[in-house]
A = this chain, B = another copy of it.
Amino acid sequence: MIRWPDTRLQTLFGIDHPIVQGGMICNSGAKLAAAVSNAGGLGLIGAGSMRPDLFRDQIRKARGLTSRPFGVNIPLLYPHSPECVGIALEEGVRIVFTSAGSPKKVIGPLKEAGCVVVHVVAHPDLAVKCEQAGCDAVVCEGFEAGGHNGREEITTLVLVPECVRAVSVPVIAAGGIATGAQVAAMLALGAAGVQIGSRFAVTQESSGHAAFKQAVVAAGPGDTHLVLKAHVPVRLLRNAFRDRIAQMEARGAAREELEAELGHGRARRGMLDGDLDEGELEIGQVAGLIDDIPTVGEVMTRLLEDCERAIVRLTGGRADGAPAG
């Protein structure tokens, strides 16, 4: 059994393993979040693609599926974001991850209610602002992450050490992590733990469409790209829609033209309805390392075993610090 070198996240969230399942759109409902929490990690219900009533329903459903701590992720850029924050509080959620905006807008009532508050950042300057605002931890998410992404294109390998030296609160590394060796690498950089999206999106318990999961399994290295960089950068799996957007960008298409082509509901179309050609398929660059659709329990077992193996490899001995046998 792995002995974690850092136990700050375990204490902060009341969990066994410093592995957070990222709140995603279209993939992270009650079933996924509860499965991750039941496996000893921290599951998050992603509010991003949910209307407020569905979000409330999913929180209640998760309560029925696990007695372990779980949380929510609320992107702060939508008109209904404040309503979702209110729902989380009403429903007794006490672990709230926020993203895509400033945590200052919402941190007051969350902290008053006794919540642990964590914000997602893509630049060390924002990590510092989060710490100053009172966040208990920061998720530092690199360029390789799926879906919406920072403008500075700082990769996880560079961003994590930058944030570790910039703040005192625990740094949760995110973007490009799907294997236990990658978890060990993040701990070596000084991260307290990791947030994993894509690997959990491609599990039995994820709410994504089976065709979307299969498309990720079929994807090879280099098959995702960041597009709409000048507007709202988003990492997508290559398909007809993404290629068209990339071509429009290459010829310098205006923002309005790109937004018209994007339209509404592309993410739902791709990831919930399974339209692999015309939907938006948000997934991380690590898709090239994802080759199957296991259960969450199986993913967690692999992560722990592979992380322990990597630590053993580093010491030439045993992960618990005992001499080489």
- A222 and B184: CB pair below 8 A? no
Residues on B with beta carbons closer than 8 Å to the beta carbon of A315: 5, 311, 314-315, 317, 319-321
A27 to B123, CA, bound (A): 29
- B311 and A188: CB pair below 8 A? yes
Interface residues of A in 167-208 (CB under 8 A from B): 175-177, 179, 181-182, 184-190
So how many copies of this chain end up in the complex? 2
A148 to B143, CA, bound (A): 18
Residue of B nearest to A124 (CB): B221
Residues on B with beta carbons closer than 8 Å to the beta carbon of A245: none
Residue of B nearest to A288 (CB): B162
Cβ of A125 within 8 Å of any chain B Cβ, yes or no, is: yes
- B285 and A190: CB pair below 8 A? no
- B317 and A314: CB pair below 8 A? no
A289 to B189, CA, bound (A): 13
Contact count band on A: 35 or more
Residues on B with beta carbons closer than 8 Å to the beta carbon of A319: 315
Residue of B nearest to A254 (CB): B251
Report if A152-B222 is in contact (Cβ < 8 Å); known contacts: A179-B161, A289-B161. Answer: yes
Cβ of A98 within 8 Å of any chain B Cβ, yes or no, is: no
- A288 and B323: CB pair below 8 A? no
- B153 and A226: CB pair below 8 A? yes
Residues on B with beta carbons closer than 8 Å to the beta carbon of A152: 221-222
Residues on B with beta carbons closer than 8 Å to the beta carbon of A314: 5, 184, 187-188, 311, 314-315
Residues on B with beta carbons closer than 8 Å to the beta carbon of A184: 188, 314
Residues on B with beta carbons closer than 8 Å to the beta carbon of A154: 221-222, 285, 288
Which of A123, A153, A289, A320 has most B Cβ within 10 Å? A153
A315 to B188, CA, bound (A): 10
A142 to B189, CA, bound (A): 17
Cβ of A65 within 8 Å of any chain B Cβ, yes or no, is: no
Cβ of A210 within 8 Å of any chain B Cβ, yes or no, is: no
> How distant is A312 from chain B, measured CB to nearest CB, in Å?
9
Residues on B with beta carbons closer than 8 Å to the beta carbon of A230: 250
CB contact between A250 and one of B124, B155, B188, B252 (< 8 Å): that residue? B252
Known: A157-B177, A317-B320, A321-B323. 11 other contacts (CB 8 A): A5-B316, A152-B222, A154-B222, A155-B157, A157-B176, A158-B286, A161-B182, A185-B185, A230-B250, A321-B322, A323-B323
Interface positions of A (Cβ within 8 A of B): 3, 5-6, 123-125, 142-144, 152-159, 161-162, 165, 175-177, 179, 181-182, 184-190, 221-222, 225-226, 230, 250-253, 285-286, 288-289, 310-311, 313-324
- List 27 interface pairs A-B (beta carbons < 8 Å), by A numbering: A6-B313, A124-B288, A144-B157, A153-B285, A155-B155, A155-B156, A157-B157, A157-B175, A157-B176, A157-B177, A158-B176, A158-B286, A159-B221, A162-B288, A181-B190, A184-B188, A187-B314, A190-B310, A230-B250, A315-B317, A315-B320, A316-B321, A317-B320, A317-B322, A318-B321, A321-B323, A321-B324
